[in-house]
Chains A and B, each alone.
Chain A
Amino acid sequence: KAGVTQTPRYLIKTRGQQVTLSCSPISGHRSVSWYQQTPGQGLQFLFEYFSETQRNKGNFPGRFSGRQFSNSRSEMNVSTLELGDSALYLCASSFGQSSYEQYFGPGTRLTVT
């Protein structure tokens, strides 16, 4: 069974631009969560989607948004990029609403210059 895939793997953007990251969960998984990983703040939860509905949201500004499609694929968008948005963005999928095991993708490395 294929794992969680994230595209693109690497991205370089300029301050003020916007970016869209994509995540394809493991087949059959309906929950997708997003995390930001930085050296200073560590791993922080962004949001989680289940069956196209956002169920949880972390403490990030409104510039960070996401959505989930009917096939469970998810995208996250960051508008008006800031230097501090440079990070590894990780997506994780799990089977259902109460599944404990989250399976992570390799991440998208975003660099904002």
Chain B
Amino acid sequence: GDSVTQMEGPVTLSEEAFLTINCTYTATGYPSLFWYVQYPGEGLQLLLKATKADDKGSNKGFEATYRKETTSFHLEKGSVQVSDSAVYFCALMYEGAQKLVFGQGTRLTINP
């Protein structure tokens, strides 16, 4: 079946550091890929998405590129802030099926 694997957390960085959170997927078809973020005590917020190979999703300084050849969708940010501390989830979904398949989540802590 389809699955998503994220790098193990937690990840701790200093403010202004470069961030990479790895995400790889296994899929039988060609899904859309997403990154969601969950702040403490809240639900999930869509951070960015890419719907086909080589698409780049971007939002709030975060970027991720849909790489079909490596089945990856790594999240990057050039300079993190304390306010980026949260849990990040990589996910996939097929068009027409409102069913997200999530990775296990990566907890990110940014220290000032």
Contacts and interface: CB of A to CB of B under 8 A. Distances in A.
Interface of A: 4, 31, 33, 35, 42-45, 48, 50, 55-56, 58, 90, 92, 94, 97-107
A94 B98 contact: yes
Interface of B: 32, 34, 36, 41-46, 49, 51, 89, 93, 95-105
A99 B98 contact: yes
A47 to B, nearest CB: 9
Given A55-B97, A106-B42, 7 more contacts: A42-B104, A44-B102, A45-B100, A55-B98, A100-B34, A102-B100, A107-B43
Contacts of A35: 100
Given A42-B104, A100-B49, A100-B51, A106 B43 contact: yes
